[in-house]
Amino acid sequence: MTRKKIIAGNWKMYKTIAEGQAFAEELKSILGQTEHEVLVCAPYTQLSSLKKVFSGSIVKLGAQNMHFENEGAFTGEISPLMLKEIGVDYCVIGHSERRQYFAETDDTVNRKLKAALAHGIFPIMCVGEVLAQRDAGEAFDVVRTQLTGGFAGLEAGEATKVVIAYEPVWAIGTGRTATPEQAEEMCAFIRETVSGLFGEGTAESVRIQYGGSVKPANAAELLTKDNIDGALVGGASLIARDFKAIIDY
Ligand code: 13P
C-alpha cells in the first residue's frame, strides 16, 4: 500500500494577515511539482485570505482547532460550520499545546474528531508523550490511551480519514528531534494500535505524521521511514524556503 505523504505546516500563533499572504505568494512561486499533499494550518484570522491566495495551487488549508458544536454560547470559539464556510480542508485536533494550556482531553478530542468528520473536514489528531512519561517507560501506554480515547465510537471508514500526528512533546520547539528510529518505532506502534481498533485495512491506509523539530536537515531521514507518512512542521513552516525544502526532502 502506498500512502500519499502529507506535509503540513502548523503556524501556531504566528503571522499577521499580511505576513501570511506574503508567505503564500512566495510558496506558490517557488513550489514546483510534488507528489505529496501540502497544507498550511494557519490562525483563524488568516484562513479567508489564504484560501484566496492558495486557490488554483496544490496547497490546502487547515485550521489549528475548532469547537465540536455547530453554534452556541461559546464565547471565543469557532465551529466546524464556520471553518467549512471558508473552505478549510483540515483541522488540527488535540495538539499538545491545546492539551497542556487549554485543558483539552481525549474526550474533547473525540468530540471534535466526530464533528470535523461530520462536516467533511479531515482531522489531524495529535498524540504524544511528555519527557517524564518517556523516561518512565510510559510513552507507548500514553499514546495508546490517547488513540483509544480519541477514536472512541468511530467506524473504520471514518478512522481512515483521520491523519494521526505523533508529536513527542519533548521534541516540540526544543530543537531536540526524536531520532528517526524512535519516531518510526512509535509510528509503527500507532499503526499496530489502529489495526487492533479497526482492522488491518484501516491501519494500512491511515496516514501517520511525525512532528517535533522537523527541519530541512532532518526531513529525509524521518520521512523515508516505513511508517512515517508525513510531517507536521512548526517553526520551519514559517519560512517558505524551509517549508519547501522539507516538501522536497
Ligand atoms: P516545531 O516544528 O516548532 O518543533 O513544532 C512542532 C509542532 O508542534 C507542530 O505541530
What is the pLDDT, as a whole number, of residue 31?
95
Cα–Cα–Cα angle for 63, 69, 71, nearest 5°?
95
**pLDDT one-digit tens code per residue, 27-77:** 999 998 999 999 999 999 999 999 999 999 999 999 999 999 999 999 999
Using one digit for the tens of pLDDT, what is the confidence trace for 161-196?
999 999 999 999 887 788 999 999 999 999 999 999
pLDDT (0 to 100) of residue 177: 82
In the reported structure, the alpha carbon of residue 98 is separated from the centroid of ligand 1 by a whole-number distance in angstroms of 13
Q: Which residue has a Cα nearest atom 7 of ligand 1?
A: 234
The pLDDT, as a whole number, for residue 173 is 83
pLDDT tens readout for residues 199-237: 999 999 999 999 999 999 999 999 999 999 999 999 999
Can you state the angle between helices 240-247 and 216-223, rounded to 10 degrees?
20
Measured over all CA atoms, what is the biggest interatomic distance in the chain, rounded to whole angstroms?
Answer: 48
Say whether 75 sits in a helix, a strand or coil: coil
> What was the pLDDT predicted at 115?
98
C-alpha cell at 4: 500519499
User: How many Å apart are CA 111 and CA 68, to the nearest integer?
Assistant: 6
- Residue 95 annotated in active site: yes
Instruction: List ligand 1's pocket residues with C-beta within 6 A.
Output: 10, 95, 167, 172-173, 211-214, 232-236
Dist. CA 73 → ligand 1 center (Å): 31
pLDDT band of residue 2 (cuts 50, 70, 90) is confident
Q: Which long-range contacts (CB under 8 A, 24 or more apart) does 178-185 make?
A: 178/210, 178/212, 180/218, 180/221, 180/222, 180/225, 183/210, 183/222, 183/225, 183/228, 184/225, 184/226, 184/227, 184/228
Q: What is the pLDDT, as a whole number, of residue 247?
A: 98
* Burial class, 140, CB count within 10 angstroms (exposed 0-12 / middle 13-18 / buried 19+): middle
Say what the pLDDT of residue 174 is: 83
64, 218, 222, 233: residue to mutate for ligand 1 pocket, most atoms within 8 A of CB: 233
| CATH architecture entry for 27-238 | Alpha-Beta Barrel (3.20)
67 an active-site residue? no
What pLDDT does residue 176 have?
79
Atom of ligand 1 nearest to the CA of 215: 2
- Give me the mean pLDDT over the 153-168 stretch: 98
Q: Round to whole Å and give the CA distance between 5 and 232.
A: 11
What is the DSSP secondary-structure string of 131-146?
A: HHHHHTT-HHHHHHHH
The single-letter DSSP state of residue 59 is E
Amino acid 179: pLDDT: 95
